[in-house]
Amino acid sequence: MEPEVLKPDTLTGKVALVTGTSRGLGRGIALGLARHGADLVLASRKLELNRELAEEIRVMGRRALPLATDIMKVEEICATVDRAVDEFGAIDILVNNAGTNPIRCAAVEVEEWSWDKILDTNLKGLFFFSQAVARHMIPRGRGSIVNISSAAAAAGTPLGSVYGASKAGVNHLTRTLALELAPHGITVNALGPSFFEVGLSEYITKSPELTEAIVSRTPLGRMGKPDELAEAVAYLASDAADYITGQVIYIDGGWTA
């Protein structure tokens, strides 16, 4: 059964900047927002893949600006936000999706490089993208920021201590930014996916044994689909969610229940 969707014109006239769009969940989120009428700024390190995605979005009748952005470098974040505002005049929606988890190992084996890469991508990049975009949203008195957290933030994650810590930090930032930006009409929320068929969960889908273990542990009996996350993002970014802020919503088939 396909997920129920919002009206096709829900986000018409809005500009959305999505990070980590070259593949996986970020790509699905960008297509989902375009499907609902938004124009897109696509920010990731892989410019060629962003260009291909931009062409798909243009075929849908939306505008798209593909940019090469290293989320670990604040100067590139600021340049991306400035370019987006120059091109489209404003940013109505920011989706902080870019994330990484390059290691799965015990905490006693974690090396400094992996700590820095995970925290700089998942937390530092998210914070400074939010800061840069909020500075443009505040004078306009409106805007929506949607952070992609993880179900790993809700409980201890053996072999994923650094990743889980980074996503717990995302949840805290979501609540704090929501409080600070509420007087300016800006909402800030987070979605916490568990295991999806693409993105960081791809190592699971390649293993029938791991897939079965995850599916059997999930109350709804399956992994998530990219469109299901994209629809949740579109809802939080829409006017229908104007009274929702500071929330972390887990999109996990009941995993955290």
- Is residue 63 classed exposed, middle or buried when 0-12, 13-18 and 19+ CB atoms within 10 A define those classes? middle
Scanning the structure block, which residue is given the tokens 């809802």?
A: 235
Which residue in the list 163, 203, 235, 250 is annotated as catalytic?
163
Q: Is 163 a catalytic residue?
A: yes
The side-by-side arrangement of strands in the sheet containing 93-96 is: 64-68, 39-44, 15-19, 93-96, 143-148, 186-193, 248-251
| 25/198 Cα distance (integer angstroms) | 6
Asked if residues 44 and 51 have their Cβ atoms less than 8 Å apart, the reply is: no
Q: How far apart, in Å, are the Cα atoms of 137 and each of 20, 91, 143, 182?
A: 21, 7, 6, 11
Query: 44: closest CA among 6, 75, 77, 14?
Result: 77
Structure tokens at 26: 């970020």
Asked if residues 173 and 123 have their Cβ atoms less than 8 Å apart, the reply is: yes
| 43/82 Cα distance (integer angstroms) | 12
Angle between helices 161-181 and 112-119 (to 10 degrees): 30
Q: List active site positions.
A: 163
